[in-house]
Amino acid sequence: MKLKELAKSLGLSPTTVSRAINGYPEVSEATRARVMAAAQRHDYQPNPRAKALATGQSMAIGHVIPLATRHEMVNPVFADFIAGASEIYAREGFDIHLTVVSDEGEEKAYRDIAAKGSVDGIIVHAPRANDGRIALLSSVGLPFVVHGRATGIDAAYNWVDVNNRRAFRRAAEFLVDLGHRRIALVNGLETMEFAMRRRSGFVEALTARGIEPDPDLMLSDEMTEQYGYQSAKTLLARADPPTAFLCSSMISAFGIRRATDEAGLKLGRDLSLIAHDDDLSYLQNGADDPIFTALRSSVREAGRRAATILIDQIRNPGPPVHDLLEAEFLVGRSTAPAPHPARALNA
């Protein structure tokens, strides 16, 4: 069913029908009701491409997700973020236009999307320091929101981020307060902004507590299971192994768990976790494992907020908006002060 047919079947002009459907005020309520009813009855769906061509609005949001070829699997965070965003999109009538690019192809991908005008706005995932994409998008004038932040950018831009620095500072403080002195940081690639922030939160905490951060205990790489495993294995083989791990991803954390397993150690559950919940209460009861639920709720919420901001920017462009989620990266599951499992090695 197309607009013209609908119009004819009602004895009206396409103009009027279009106006009725799109809620223009200059249509009498009587005709509007008639039109709406008929539209319903015939299950009329306006052709989005025709509409887009006429209005210049595509009612679509682009998500470009970078795929490091070394990644063993796609970062689940992307999916959860998108799930959150799509709740908003669905409500507001936007579609998701997904582009998966390898690291090299990234700039070209953005350029193409902008040139083709296939979307009204873009979500930028996994920003890096001095990220060229931000300048690129600003220059083409396509609204965008960054999931995360990029330092080294002079222009203001929209972003949504969780409070990574604060989360890691707290996590590290927590470990220190449990009595740990040698804490390993198994971090993500520190070309990524979030990893840099996490590291600095970590260092801040140690320094504030009078502990000299040991560079040998601060690792950085793509966060695979393999990476967590190898890192932990290597670290535990040292003469002075760490007694706690602060890790930047659950996937890598599983690798760490495997390594401690193999070493015959029982980790004091010093596995890392991002929690949107702001307090440590679950650490005390431990009834539910909050790793996944917390991660999800945090990332989804970020997706929702980013989508909301982006749509708002599309509808009425204004000054950039920031949104810092007070998410937590919490540590461990043990209710008692953490044991120093590594001592078993030397025992």
Partner DNA sequence: TTGAAAGCGATACCAG
Partner DNA sequence: CTGGTATCGCTTTCAA
Binds DNA (CB under 7 A): choice among 36, 46, 214, 233: 46
What sign does the dihedral 240-243-246-247 (CA atoms) show? positive
Q: Is 56 left (phi over 0), alpha (psi -120 to 50) or beta?
A: left
> Residue 95: which residues within 8 A CB-CB, separation 6 or more?
48, 59, 60, 61, 89
The tally of CA atoms less than 13 A away on the side-chain side of residue 263 is 27
Q: Verify binding: residue 257, a copy of itself, rule CB under 8 A.
A: yes
Residues 238 and 48: their CA atoms lie apart, in Å, by 62
| DSSP labels, 95-132 | EEEEEEEETTTHHHHHHHHHHHT--SEEEEPS-BTT-H
- The structure tokens listed for 324 are 């810092």
Binds a copy of itself (CB under 8 A): choice among 21, 36, 79, 325: 79
Contacted by 129, from a copy of itself, DNA, none: CB < 5 to 8 Å by type: none
Q: Verify binding: residue 52, a copy of itself, rule CB under 8 A.
A: yes
Q: Verify binding: residue 9, DNA, rule CB under 7 A.
A: no
**What does residue 176 show for φ and ψ, rounded to 5 degrees?**
-60, -45
Q: What is the β-pairing status of strands 322-325 and 95-102?
A: unpaired
Q: What is the β-pairing status of strands 328-331 and 272-275?
A: antiparallel
Q: Verify binding: residue 27, DNA, rule CB under 7 A.
A: yes
- The structure tokens listed for 277 are 């919940």
DSSP 8-state assignment for residue 332: -
CB under 7 A: which stretch of 3-11, 180-188, 218-226, 234-242 binds DNA?
Answer: 3-11
Binds a copy of itself (CB under 8 A): choice among 30, 73, 239, 336: 73
Residue 338 CB: number of other CB atoms within 10 A?
19
Contacted by 296, from DNA, a copy of itself, none: CB < 5 to 8 Å by type: a copy of itself
Q: Verify binding: residue 115, a copy of itself, rule CB under 8 A.
A: yes
Binds DNA (CB under 7 A): choice among 12, 39, 119, 306: 12
Least Cα distance to 330 among 257, 259, 253 occurs for: 253
CB under 7 A: which stretch of 18-26, 81-89, 206-214, 244-252 binds DNA?
Answer: 18-26
Q: Which residues of 86-105 are buried (b: 16+ CB within 10 A; e: fewer)?
A: bebbeeeebbbbebebeeee
Residues 313 and 145: their CA atoms lie apart, in Å, by 9
CB under 8 A: which stretch of 215-223, 239-247, 285-293, 308-316 binds a copy of itself?
Answer: 285-293
Radius of gyration of the chain measured on its C-alpha atoms: 25
Binds a copy of itself (CB under 8 A): choice among 31, 68, 97, 136: 97
Q: Verify binding: residue 234, a copy of itself, rule CB under 8 A.
A: no
Smallest distance, a copy of itself to C-beta of residue 340, A:
18
Q: Verify binding: residue 224, a copy of itself, rule CB under 8 A.
A: yes
Smallest distance, DNA to C-beta of residue 317, A:
17
For residues 16 to 45, the per-residue mask of contacts with a copy of itself, x marking binding by CB under 8 A and - elsewhere, is: ---------------------------x-x
Binds a copy of itself (CB under 8 A): choice among 96, 140, 324, 344: 96
Binds a copy of itself (CB under 8 A): choice among 33, 37, 74, 156: 74
SS3 331: strand
Q: Verify binding: residue 5, a copy of itself, rule CB under 8 A.
A: no
Residues 63 and 78: their CA atoms lie apart, in Å, by 9
Q: Verify binding: residue 288, a copy of itself, rule CB under 8 A.
A: yes
Q: Verify binding: residue 49, a copy of itself, rule CB under 8 A.
A: yes
Write out the residues near a copy of itself by the rule CB under 8 A.
43, 45-50, 52-53, 58, 63, 67, 72-76, 78-80, 82-83, 86-87, 90, 95-101, 112, 115-118, 224-226, 229, 251, 254-255, 257-258, 261, 266, 288-289, 291-293, 295-296
Write out the residues near DNA by the rule CB under 7 A.
2-4, 11-16, 18-19, 21-22, 25-31, 45-47, 50-51, 53-56
